[in-house]
Amino acid sequence: MIKALSTTWRGGWFAGLLATTLLSLVATSTYAALPTPGAPDLSARSYVLLDYATEQVIVERDADRPVPPASITKLMTAYLAFQAIKSGNIALDDQVTVSEKAWRMGGSRMFIEVGTQVTVEALLQGMIVQSGNDAATALAEYIGGNEESFVAQMNATAERLGMDETHFENPTGWPAEGHLMSARDIATLLSQLIHEFPDLYKYFRQKSYTYGGIKQYNREKLLFRNEWVDGGKTGHTEAAGYCLATSGARDGMRLIAVVLGTDSDEARNNQAEALLNYGFRHFETVDVRSGGETLASPRVYKGEMDHTPVGLRQDLSVLVPKNQRDDLAISLKLDGELTAPLNQGDAVGSLVVRLGEQAIAERPVVALSDNPEGGLVKQATDSFWLWWDN
Annotated binding site for substrate: 233
Active site residue 208: no
Kindly report the three-state secondary structure assignment for every residue of 256-268.
Answer: EEEEEEECCHHHH
Cis, bond preceding 372 (omega within 30 deg of 0): no
**Sequence letter at residue 311:** G
| Helix, coil or strand: residue 186 | helix
Rounded Cα distance between 36 and 250, Å, is 19
Catalytic-role residue among 71, 182, 191, 247: 71
Asked if 370 contacts 346 with a C-beta cutoff of 8 angstroms, the reply is no
Rounded Cα distance between 268 and 379, Å, is 67
Asked if 240 contacts 260 with a C-beta cutoff of 8 angstroms, the reply is yes
Rounded Cα distance between 48 and 301, Å, is 49
**Among candidate residues 232, 237, 241, the one with its CA nearest the CA of residue 266:** 241
Cβ-in-10-Å burial (0-12, 13-18, 19+) of 385 comes to middle
CA atoms within 13 A on the CB side of 127: 32
Catalytic-role residue among 6, 131, 182, 297: 131
Active site residue 350: no
Active site residue 71: yes
Asked if 299 contacts 261 with a C-beta cutoff of 8 angstroms, the reply is no
Q: Please, which residues have CB within 8 angstroms of residue 18's CB and are 6 or more apart in sequence?
A: 298, 299, 307
**Sequence letter at residue 170:** N
CA-CA-CA-CA torsion sign (26, 32, 38, 44): positive
Active site residues: 71, 74, 131
